[in-house]
Structure 1
Amino acid sequence: MTSSNARSSSIPRHYHRLTRLERFTVTDAVHLKLKLQAVDAALSRVSEKDCDQVDVSALLDACQSRPFHETVYVNDSEQFYLLVKSISRPDLIPDVYVSAYSAVLQGRPYLNEYKVSDFRKGVDPTFSEIRPLLAQIDAQCETNLETAFGKLETRVKPLPFLQLPAELRLLTYSHLLPREAHLALIYQPHREHKTPRIRLDVLRTNQQVHDEVAQYFYEKRTLFLVAARDKASQTLSNNYLSRFYDMVATMNPKTRHFFKKLEIQVSYLSGQTITLKRYPSISFVADPMRDLFALLPQVQTLVIAFGPTPFIAGENWGIIREKLETVYWLIDCVPPSIDVRWDLTRAFTSRFKVDEGPLRRIVAKRGTVHMGESVSSQLASQRKSLLFERP
């Protein structure tokens, strides 16, 4: 099992620590409110007939910060702070708005540009993050930014790509995003397996393309994860399983509905340690596996497979026992509506004489055996085929 996550070399090692030093405050919200009102005032001076003559430089000037030595206060600034603080870099909302406004002014779709202009403050926001809040921003700032943008948006020309037949668009997506039959969370089924490189830029094109790409990329794929549990350490067990739960919980609910098949590879906790939550915004759950199934209501089929049992002197029997205990616990978590399929290809190691009776009884009680159906078995078969084909 190998982790599929790596930190980009362009991001400082202490990036998350740096962002905490530059937190957005109520005072910042006051300045932001004044900047948004200045942008709105600049727009309101232009009549609807003369909107082609909007001076973008004047809008950009309105985005400039007020001197921080000024003492200012605007009514209801605390409420405004609570509204915008969830956005990354709220201080850039005026600049991003003006950039999007300038694009539609020229008849072009606005671009969600993902960048980090200041590592001390975090990732810059996109207009798609800001737009759902425009109506509330207008209500609190007494502005008309949403209306002003909406009037111009009718000028945007339809994207020529969307005039192509759906089959050609799908072919384009397949070239940009080569997809495997499975999508692995954290660990791949095999240590040697390398995932294809993908380009996600296409998701930023517009909402229709985003939805089409998401459906192509996630639909009819097997969601793969690893499960392990040690009765002697419930804290470690829940911490390990919560890593997978948290990743699923961060997915868009629409994305989670695409998954109809789940594969769980039974493993062991030897060598694992308790780690900090990767997604602090996800609330703690006492039973991560049951809650994970609740997050995936469309899952119809569960494939249960087994990871290899390595030769570790003095620990093998403990690992085998731990896997069996994990199976007992796991099958009790599976909703009765789900069809359970067992791939026992690697369930029993040839190095040790293991009593197969307990596992066979579990299989007979819930589910059916489908040898070779698991992702790990299929990848192993493909790997063998490639080795035999080599000259």
Structure 2
Amino acid sequence: MIKPGQITGVSIKNQTGRISVLINNKSGLSYFIGFLINLPMLPAILGFDISGVSVIYIISLVLFVIKMMVTPSSVKVSVIGVSLFLGFVISFVLSFSFSDYTDYANYKFAFFFVKCVTLFTVGILASYNIYSFFKGYFHSIVIVATIALAQFYMHSIMSGLGFSISNRLEVGSVNPIWLSRLLTEAFLCILIFSLNRKYLALAFFIGLPSVLLSGSKGPVLALFISLFYRLKNIDKRKLIFFSFMVIALLIIFINSFASSEVQEFFQQRFLRVVPDTVGSDDIANSRSAIWLHSLQLVFSNAALFFQGVGVGNAYLVVFDSPIRFYPHNIFIEILLENGFTSLLLFVTTVTCAFLKARRSYWMPLFIFHVVNALFSGDIIQNEKLFLFIGLAFSSAVYVKRTLNGQIYYVNK
């Protein structure tokens, strides 16, 4: 598991024993809360329709607050970063006050606080023992991903599921996009937190079929970008050459040995923006079309540009009656629904979080969730991004404070 001396971007100098004691002595609550974070998806993977699983985030926050009250711990945060986030929260509230109070708008507003604001705060409080928190996070996501893979292979054997353009993988009530995101993030966590590279290779070959069957490009792209950042300290030319070689060999292998159905599925789902078999209505409502229509609407009116159409009212881009609709791009969503001021605050918050913790060993997870949020879900379905934003505004300060003769950055 995690050893401070193995953390990407930092190295321990004559203090390994002290840090190890810190991990062992304070691992209980932080480990448990880190373990809880990935559990909300588990019922859906198992096929249970259980509402209210997001209460796990609130429980995590309450446990941290109780811990802080019983055993006071100093958690230093970036005042600028927290102020930016609070500004974004205020702008979100103001935007909601001008919204049509539809069912989705009310739901989205409530769960923005239940998920996003709560996890941001959890991220800040988790910094007092970040290593143990990530141990729990790592264990839970591997367990949940393993259960999802078991479900996938069991379903494949029983139903004879094959590759087809219109028949993508679903496990329980989890759609292909979210399943692919779970599996690719679990693979990234194994790369970051596991010291045994045999597990990494095993995870890659076991998980690859299900990721391909999901037919979702977003999580795969997010994984590649995160891996590139994770490996940025090696020879860039070798990394680029190796990446192209892997992609080329994969394409050659599929075209040479795979069945025609597999070749067609791979080409349509991963090498084209929109599959050929998609109907005209689906093309008109595809992500690229919706993004363009959203921007056209926002820039057509000064009031809409600064104020937005209101929280949960993105349906106005396509539909006349209120439905749950979002453009599957968190930045376009915020600009469309909340206006330019909210977008500026959010972009600045994300940028500052990245700059603050860019050398942190967990930064690839931050990048992974940012890229994912550009292609799937709405703001409340990308809630873990806010966990890492909160972590960035506290743990980076912790690392700097620990640099005094104990930890130093290395470039390898």
State the TM bucket, normalised to the shorter chain: under 0.3
Task: Indicate the structure with greater strand content.
Answer: 1
Task: Indicate the structure with greater helix content.
Answer: 2
Question: Normalising by structure 2, what TM-score?
Answer: 0.25
